[in-house]
Amino acid sequence: QVQLVESGGGLVQAGGSLRLSCAASGHTFSGYTMGWFRQAPGKEREFVAAITWSGGRTYYADSVKGRFTISRDNAKTTVDLQMNSLKPEDTAVYYCATGQVNSALVALGRQYNYWGQGTQVTVSS
């Protein structure tokens, strides 16, 4: 079974940085896509960033472009999300997800069939 475990969340002031990690296990992830999503209270889940496991191609939501960076370590089967210049509106539970995702559909959560439990990110003003 595929297991995804997020870590690195916490409380940070606006303008600060956090680095989230997602540890993946239970499968050979070549050919898979890893995505980061977030959900704030009262809001729908939204796409943040994604990366293809083999090629390392990245995708970002417009709201985080230039501030967030997604990366992967194939040897450790981990995917990180470096978050800089954090804003209060970045406050949410962040989830990592993976699956065999068409490159044109990386922003659609329904395309991912494995999800982690999430990690809380809170940005204070």
Please give the Cα distance from 107 to 53 (Å, whole number). Answer: 16
Residue 16 predicted with pLDDT over 90: yes
Residues 6+ apart with CB under 8 A from 95: 6, 36, 37, 38, 39, 45, 115, 116, 117, 118
On whether the CB atoms of residues 35 and 96 are closer than 8 A, the answer is: yes
Instruction: Give the rounded percent of residues in the chain with a pLDDT score beyond 70.
Output: 100
Quick: pLDDT tens for 68-97: 999 999 788 899 999 999 999 999 999 999
- Torsion angles phi and psi, residue 105, rounded to 5: -125, 20
Quick: pLDDT tens for 42-76: 999 999 999 999 999 999 999 999 999 999 997 88
